[in-house]
Amino acid sequence: MSKITLNAIAAAAGVGVATVDRVLNRRAPVRAATEQKVLEAANRLGYRMGATSLSSNIAPASHVTLRMGFILLSKSYSLYHSLSDALRQHTQPFHPAGSEPLFTWHDIDDVAAVVTSLYALAEQVDAIGLVALDHPLIRHAIEHISRQGVRVYALFSNFSPCGHAGYVGLDNQKAGRTAAWIATHLLHQPGAVGVLVGDHRFICQESNEISFRSYLREQDSARRVLEPLKTHESIDGGYRSTRQLLDEHADLALIFAPCGGIEGVIHALRQQPQRKVALICHGPVKEGELALIDGTITVMIRNRIDEMAMRLAQMVQQHQAEPGDHFTQIILPFDIVTRENL
């Protein structure tokens, strides 16, 4: 009789390979209901628990397969449409036949829902890609499921050092200082600079803001940089925060927005075409090229979404084939886009 693979049991139980390994080889505890599902699936396939090492009774797969889940921010922001499409394209080939990547979406400040999704996905997948705030409850959940054998990878924004998550994204200090360098070459007259962030617990945006301010402090110390306003990574939040900047600061000269909700920022600026306010933002953004062409966006610091998804898929597959405790960080390049290099 042919040997039974971990992948076959995982597919039959509807869980990840790592979960099957934890149950059959007693590597870490799992929920009782999940354990029962795995044992029932193994029994149906003819696997029998033996006295020797359980892994010796299971044939290795001919190639690495895995299940992945993703927790992203609200689909109302176009960037996450592009990201989910790219992640699905690049990770689907690694999944067992008949399965596909799992996705959940949450508002940026719904910490409890993110934690619930982390624990739920950990019962079904081998690896999780995550966009979330650097919140203690989220870090605690990451540590817990990581110890159970499920790998977690932070996308765009890293977490405070906890040793339990990989990272795929920009060097945000470099991105912030680059934006400030651009700003100094755009601003030739006095005027205030506004800053928009999705949330202060987004480490990527905090790093962008700090680095942006630091460069301007060094190179343009007389320039007034306003306290940041929050967009909550939403289009409506971007619109309201931009309106507030325009209404409260008659001398507003530039907005730096390394955040989500840029569609709302664009809409607010287009409502006052008589005021020329430069916009340096992160992207990609829905219809961002049109906004660059008509001058609403001055410069876009654009993430390479497809490359992010591809590098993540490769890294997860490598870690699955060669397990270890090391969590890799992949720093991606970014593109500086203007209307002249579209």
- Least confident residue range of 188-197, 238-247, 323-332: 323-332
Residue 159 burial (10 A CB sphere; 0-12, 13-18, 19+): buried
Residues 6+ apart with CB under 8 A from 301: 175, 178, 179, 258, 280, 281, 282, 283, 334, 335, 336, 337
Bridge partners (DSSP) of residue 59 are 5
- Least confident residue range of 153-162, 268-277, 300-309: 153-162
pLDDT score of 1 more than 50: no
Helices 32-44, 6-13: axis angle to 10 degrees equals 120
pLDDT score of 236 more than 50: yes
CA distance 32 to 19: 12
Mean pLDDT of the chain: 88
CA distance 333 to 210: 20
More confident residue, 29 or 52: 29
Decide: 306 and 278 in contact? Cβ < 8 Å.
Answer: no
Core vs surface per residue 200-233: b (16+ CB within 10 A) or e? ebbbbbbbbbebbbebbeeeeeebebeebbbbbb
pTM of the model: 0.81
Element (H, E) at 308: helix 305-321
pLDDT tens column, 283-322: 999 999 999 999 999 999 999 999 999 999 988 888 776 6
Decide: 199 and 233 in contact? Cβ < 8 Å.
Answer: yes
pLDDT score of 54 more than 60: no
Decide: 285 and 299 in contact? Cβ < 8 Å.
Answer: no
Decide: 70 and 130 in contact? Cβ < 8 Å.
Answer: yes
pLDDT tens column, 56-88: 344 344 456 789 999 999 877 778 889 999 999
| Preceding amide of 101 cis, omega within 30 | no
Q: What is the pLDDT of residue 60?
A: 40
Residue ranges and CATH numbers for the domains of the chain are 4-59 (1.10.260.40), 68-169+305-336 (3.40.50.2300), 172-302 (3.40.50.2300)
pLDDT score of 31 more than 80: no
More confident residue, 108 or 48: 108
pLDDT score of 162 more than 80: no
Q: What is the pLDDT of residue 28?
A: 59
Decide: 128 and 168 in contact? Cβ < 8 Å.
Answer: no
Bridge partners (DSSP) of residue 105 are 72
Which of 15, 80, 2, 12 lies closest to 41 in space, CA to CA? 12
